Amino acid sequence: MKYKSPLYGLLLALFIYLALAFFERSPVPDNALIFSLVTFVYLVAGINYLLYWIFNWERGSFWGSTIAWAGFIANLYGFVIRWIQTYQTGYGYVPLSNLYESLVFFGLSLAGLYLFWEFRLPRKVFGSLVFILASLIMAFASFVTDSSIKPLIPALKSNWLIAHVITCFLGYAAFAVAFVVGLFYLLADKSFLKDKLPSKIVLDNFMYRSILFGFFWLSIGIITGAIWADQAWGNYWSWDPKETWSLITWFIYAGAIHARLIRGWQGKKIALISLIGFIAVIFTYFGVNFLLSGLHSYGGLS
Amino acid sequence: MRDLLNKLGSAKLAIVLFFLLAGISILGTLIPQGQPGSFYLGKYGQVLGKLILFFQINDAYHSWWYITTLFLFLFNLIVCSINRLPFTIKLYQKDPGELHPEKLPNKLVEQVRVTSEQLGELIAKKYGFKRIDKNFDNGEFFYKSVNKPFFFSVYVVHFSLVIIIIGALIGAFWGYRGNMSILEGESSNVVQPFRKREPVYLDFTVKLNKFILETYPNGMPKEYISNVTIYDKNKTFDAIIKVNEPLKYKDVTFYQASYNIIPEFTIKVIHNKKSEDFRISPFQPINIEDKYSIALQDYGEAHGLIFMKLWIVNEENGESKEGLIISGFPPLEVSFSEDNLSLEYVDLAKLYYMTGLQAKEDPGNVVVYLGFIIMMLGLFFVYYFDPKTYWLFIKRRDSDTWEIMLGGYAKRERESLRLKLETLLEEIKRDLSEVK
């Protein structure tokens, strides 16, 4: 049955929730603990997919998918619980406003997007890298960034911020999927992947659809960001490093889409661009926060 | 000339420009922008520093090479779109019946055993196909077009980019952005633009009634609020300006940008054996017997002591002195050629808030927002409404065998189209097994 994995995943996620609620003696257990657990769940899901891929263990794809669904659902209620907890601390905001919150939301979007697309995939080997990546993102959030709930500075109090973060991360998640598929595409002829991947046409198409989807959301993310900047600072574009890097990312993927449509670029070329594009995404997201300073510096580690 | 125009409008150049723009945009994020020239010479050395200044990498996004590339991109976008438009119109107007059934794109062929006579009508009705009134060796030919108007979606996106750039240019040429600082209780109609020297005088005034700085219990800023009154010729009203909640009046938008706390000190001045207390602030110099004026140049706090840097001028002969007075320290004795002054810190009399508003007038803003909306719509159309045409050709082979041919064309989703056709064929076969 098609929906067996999400269903079992939901049950597993509920079990995790009940166990946490029981141990913490609270219907809203600490959100940071949930997110730490999700890191672990994603890792286990990734390992199951890996076993499926490397040892041809057929049940691995089912278990990988089921555990991944559990992680995704736990990630989702972790988000809701953090939202509730911002109200309990008296600050009350949608938890999308610092590096920690954006990272756990990145994990959520990546897992969710991939799992919904997986329904249409003939083979599920991609889950291995997707969930190892998601686990790394969550681990980075838990170990490196500050998970405490802090009040919002005035500039961040805007509904445009919420729209901006959600749209950007949907885009980033799609580019992350395109990156994983691109990687598999480039390795498709290697012996350890023989007969384990869908046909190259399917891979190529999946990659292209992910890029197109990501480009759609990144564009809307840039636009909502510009509108927010206009409301907060009176200027919709100020060549702040983060803005510029999002534009660089936009140019790279726009180039890929146009090259495919008008010049017929396919396969390897698009796969390579999806790798370069994702490096630009990562740099837009982390590099700018850590290495360059600007308007987005509140996204930093402290 | 024509050759050059063709080159500038070629699709190949478009691809080059995308990656070129991505590449050259990096420069300005690696090298700090808008610093004085000496900064670059000091940090990067004489050779590299001079190169940076020569190529305007210190203001990369306003440099001639960046602007030129952007305009080349804009030009290429327009020419490319115009060049391709007739092609798209042809696609849009293309008659699906022109095709010969043997030459269907992405053709799938299947033989099914059905005895029913009205097979064509049956399938066509269920899947929304239209009949093509042409006879190809006794077969029946059908087609189905979806999302046909969306052949033009990409032009909507391209057009929106042009609109946004036009809006930005209108703003750059006919708009301004600037600062407006107002002390609590005072009014102003002067805006100091960022990139020009000449101030802008508004035809109405803004009075700051009160500046409110709200903080969270842990001391972090919660809200910056300017409570203002606008005085126009025959209109007066109160308004609130907050971060993220600007005030718009008569094409001018006011943003809460910054604030300052301005102190007013009391100092004791002894002149001609006469001792008197005066109030002094950075905006309010003091005048002593029309002979000396004292201005507060700088002030601050260090090690728990307050210091003030004063500038004293003898208005009669222009002689001036500078001096520092510090709270709790003996008075500062200033000796001029004619007489002496003694200055002593008394107390901090009062603190004033000064709001820093940013004022903006941008006639291009509406155009830019319009461009944003068009772009979002266009991208939505491109992503979710891909034009497709499906063909269906059926022909009777013998009394109980039919041949079904399916074909399809998709503008964008070419690869997934095949999967779609395969599923469609499976569905049709399943339906037919029930018909039997």
Mean local confidence (pLDDT), B421-436? 78
Q: Identify the bridge partners of residue B215 per DSSP, sorted by sequence position.
A: B221
- Assess A297–B contact: CB distance below 8 Å, yes or no: no
**Residues on chain A touching B177 (C-beta within 8 angstroms):** 234-235
Contacts of residue A81, Cβ cutoff 8 Å, sequence gap at least 6: A28, A29, A31, A34
Pairing of strands B332-335, B401-410: unpaired
pLDDT at B52: 87
Same domain, B367 and B221: yes
Mean local confidence (pLDDT), B172-196? 88
| Identity of residue A252 | I
Fill in the DSSP letter of residue B219: S
Residue B436 has pLDDT above 70, yes or no: no
Task: Please tell me the distance in Å from B272's CA to the nearest CA on chain A.
Answer: 53
Same domain, B256 and B268: no
Q: Are A182 and A133 in contact (CB under 8 A)?
A: no
pLDDT at B97: 78
Mean local confidence (pLDDT), B148-164? 92
**Residue B99 within a domain:** no
Task: Please tell me the distance in Å from A11's CA to the nearest CA on chain B.
Answer: 32
Q: Can you tell me whether residue B377 is helix, strand or coil? A: helix
Write the pLDDT tens digit of every residue in B390-399: 988 888 777 7
Same domain, B255 and B273: no
Q: Structural domain tally of chain B?
A: 4
**Residue B159 within a domain:** no
Mean local confidence (pLDDT), A101-119? 93
pLDDT at B318: 82
Of A204, A226, A244, nearest to B28 by CB-CB distance is A244
Distances from the Cα of A29 to the Cα of A75, A80, B204, angstroms: 13, 11, 55
Same domain, B49 and B67: yes
Task: Please tell me the distance in Å from B250's CA to the nearest CA on chain A.
Answer: 16
**Residues on chain A touching B383 (C-beta within 8 angstroms):** 212-213, 216
CB contact under 8 A, A258 and B243: no
Domain span at B201: 173-261+355-377
Mean local confidence (pLDDT), B76-104? 85
Phi, psi of B139 (to 5 degrees): -95, 165
Same domain, B364 and B406: no
Residue A301: pLDDT band by 50, 70, 90 thresholds?
very low
Lookup: tokens for B56: 């305007």
- Assess A236–B contact: CB distance below 8 Å, yes or no: yes
- Assess A205–B contact: CB distance below 8 Å, yes or no: yes
Maximum mean pLDDT: which of A226-235, B126-135, B367-376: B367-376
Distances from the Cα of B323 to the Cα of B48, B300, B333, B340, B346, angstroms: 43, 14, 9, 13, 16
**How do the domains of chain A map onto residue ranges?**
1-152, 158-302
CATH of A158-302, one of 3.40.50, 1.10.3470, 1.20.120, 1.20.58: 1.20.120
CA distance linking residue A112 with residue A241, whole number of Å: 29
Sign for the pseudo-dihedral over CA of A272, A206, A177, A102: positive
CA distance linking residue B333 with residue A169, whole number of Å: 65
Q: Can you tell me whether residue B68 is helix, strand or coil? A: helix
**Residue B154 within a domain:** no
User: Mutual orientation of helices A159-187 and A99-118 as an angle, nearest 10°?
Assistant: 50
Write the pLDDT tens digit of every residue in B344-360: 888 888 888 889 899 99
Write the pLDDT tens digit of every residue in B20-67: 999 999 988 888 888 888 888 888 888 888 888 888 888 888 889 999
Distances from the Cα of B341 to the Cα of A96, B61, B298, B334, B347, angstroms: 60, 54, 19, 5, 19
- Assess A254–B contact: CB distance below 8 Å, yes or no: yes
**Residue B101 within a domain:** no
CA distance linking residue A127 with residue A52, whole number of Å: 10
Write the pLDDT tens digit of every residue in A131-190: 999 999 999 998 888 888 888 888 888 899 999 999 999 999 999 999 999 999 998 887
CA distance linking residue B124 with residue A226, whole number of Å: 48
- Assess B33–A contact: CB distance below 8 Å, yes or no: yes
Specify the DSSP element, H or E, that contains B350: strand B340-361
**Residue B57 within a domain:** yes
**Residues on chain A touching B224 (C-beta within 8 angstroms):** 154
Residue A302: pLDDT band by 50, 70, 90 thresholds?
very low
Same domain, B122 and B235: no
Same domain, B419 and B309: no
Same domain, B254 and B288: no
**Residue B32 within a domain:** yes
CB contact under 8 A, A155 and B244: yes
CA distance linking residue A293 with residue A169, whole number of Å: 21
- Within chain A, what is the greatest distance between any pair of CA atoms? 61
Write the pLDDT tens digit of every residue in B193-210: 887 778 889 989 999 999
Mind spelling out the 3-state secondary structure of B386-397?
Answer: CCEEEEEEEEEE
Residue A41: pLDDT band by 50, 70, 90 thresholds?
very high
- Assess A292–B contact: CB distance below 8 Å, yes or no: yes
- Within chain B, what is the greatest distance between any pair of CA atoms? 130
Least confidently predicted of B99-103, B139-143, B218-222, B225-229: B99-103
**Residues on chain B touching A162 (C-beta within 8 angstroms):** none
Same domain, B202 and B330: no
Contacts of residue A191, Cβ cutoff 8 Å, sequence gap at least 6: none
The larger pLDDT score, comparing residue A288 to residue A92, is at A92
> At B246, which CATH number?
2.60.98
Task: Please tell me the distance in Å from A280's CA to the nearest CA on chain B.
Answer: 10
Q: Are B65 and B24 in contact (CB under 8 A)?
A: yes
CB contact under 8 A, B22 and A235: no
Mean local confidence (pLDDT), A60-81? 92
Q: Are B403 and B379 in contact (CB under 8 A)?
A: no
Contacts of residue B347, Cβ cutoff 8 Å, sequence gap at least 6: B265, B266
> At B397, which CATH number?
3.30.310.10
Q: Are B208 and B186 in contact (CB under 8 A)?
A: yes
Same domain, B325 and B359: no
Pairing of strands B252-271, B320-326: unpaired
CB contact under 8 A, B25 and A244: yes
pLDDT at A297: 47
Check: pTM over 0.95? Answer yes or no: no
CA distance linking residue B338 with residue B359, whole number of Å: 48
CA distance linking residue B77 with residue B8, whole number of Å: 10
Burial of B419 (C-beta count, 10 Å sphere; 0-12/13-18/19+): middle
Q: Can you tell me whether residue A135 is helix, strand or coil? A: helix
Same domain, B244 and B313: no
Of A201, A233, A255, nearest to B22 by CB-CB distance is A255
User: Mutual orientation of helices A159-187 and A126-144 as an angle, nearest 10°?
Assistant: 140
| Identity of residue B425 | L
CB contact under 8 A, B358 and A252: no
Write the pLDDT tens digit of every residue in A85-104: 999 888 888 999 888 999 99
Q: Identify the bridge partners of residue B345 per DSSP, sorted by sequence position.
A: B267
Residue B375: pLDDT band by 50, 70, 90 thresholds?
very high
**Residues on chain B touching A231 (C-beta within 8 angstroms):** 244-246
CA distance linking residue B311 with residue B331, whole number of Å: 15
Residue A296 has pLDDT above 70, yes or no: no
CB contact under 8 A, A252 and B18: yes
Of B28, B216, B256, nearest to A239 by CB-CB distance is B28
Mean local confidence (pLDDT), B240-260? 90
pLDDT, chain A, mean: 88
Same domain, B208 and B337: no
Q: Are B236 and B307 in contact (CB under 8 A)?
A: no
| Identity of residue B42 | G
Mean local confidence (pLDDT), A61-74? 92
Fill in the DSSP letter of residue B233: T
Residue B412: pLDDT band by 50, 70, 90 thresholds?
confident
**Residues on chain B touching A215 (C-beta within 8 angstroms):** 379
